[in-house]
Amino acid sequence: MGGQYKITGDRYPRMRPARRRGRLAFVAVACATVLGVLGWGTLQLIDVFTGGDKASALGAAADCRTTAAKASASPAAVKLPKPAQVTVNVLNATTRSGLAQKTADELKKRGFRIGDVSNAPKEYDKKVQGAGLLLGPVTALKGSLPVLGAQLPGAERRTDAARKGAEVDLIIGNGFKGLTKPADADAALAALAAPQPTPAAEKKGC
């Protein structure tokens, strides 16, 4: 600058524009920080309201996959005795004569071994109202009794803890109308020996 004004000394005045630029930079940083915090908070709120549903859906899907895997696995085959390994005592508890022998002959044709064929003892005589009563030792509950029961599905099954041996009794009751058809009995035996898996996944709505 010329003329009558001269700048002396080694200190120079600060210019106003520099101070404004500093303020603008500070405001910009503050705004960016606020926007970042708001954005992060919004995402957290979204996760709070939607994360539970996603987790539940994922958990349900996992449960369904586990249940389906268990349902698709075939149950272990059950080892049942053959009819030739089962000795049956046929006892008539009705007033119809000849019924025990006729039933015993039919069971023999189906492969069963026949033991005693006679009238039922006094404790059962004329006291069995259903189709029949299957009686055997406790060990026969999951073996001989189910095999014999396939021949007469409507018969009641009982076990006697004091009973010795492996023989089972078929006590014919007043409601007896004959043994089931051989084909139906064979199908029932096959179902007992190889049980089918239960569709548990469908029951749970997967």
Please tell me the predicted confidence (pLDDT) of residue 110. 96
Per domain, the residue ranges of the chain are: 84-193
3-state secondary structure the chain: CCCCCCCCCCCCCCCHHHHHHHHHHHHHHHHHHHHHHHHHHHHHHHHHHHHHHHHHHHHHHHHHHHHHHHHHCCCCCCCCCCHHHCEEEEEECCCCCCHHHHHHHHHHHCCCEEEEEEECCCCCCCCCCCCEEEEECHHHCCCHHHHHHCCCCCCEEEECCCCCCCCEEEEECCCCCCCCCHHHHHHHHHHHHCCCCCCHHHHCCC
Percent of the chain with pLDDT over 90: 53
152 vs 173: CA distance, rounded Å? 11
> Is it the case that residue 10 has pLDDT exceeding 60?
no
37 vs 50: CA distance, rounded Å? 20
Higher-pLDDT residue of 25 and 135 is: 135
Is 67 within 8 Å of 206 (Cβ atoms)?
yes
Residue-wise pLDDT for 36-95, tens only, equals 656 665 656 555 555 545 545 555 555 656 555 555 555 566 689 999 999 999 999 999
Residue-wise pLDDT for 114-142, tens only, equals 999 999 999 999 999 999 999 999 999 99
Percent of the chain with pLDDT over 70: 56
> Is it the case that residue 2 has pLDDT exceeding 70?
no
Res. 201 pLDDT band, cuts 50 70 90: very low
The pair of three-digit structure tokens given for residue 51, joined into one six-digit string: 């994360």
Q: What is the average pLDDT across 151-175?
A: 95
Answer whether CATH 3.30.70.2390 is correct for domain 84-193. Answer: yes
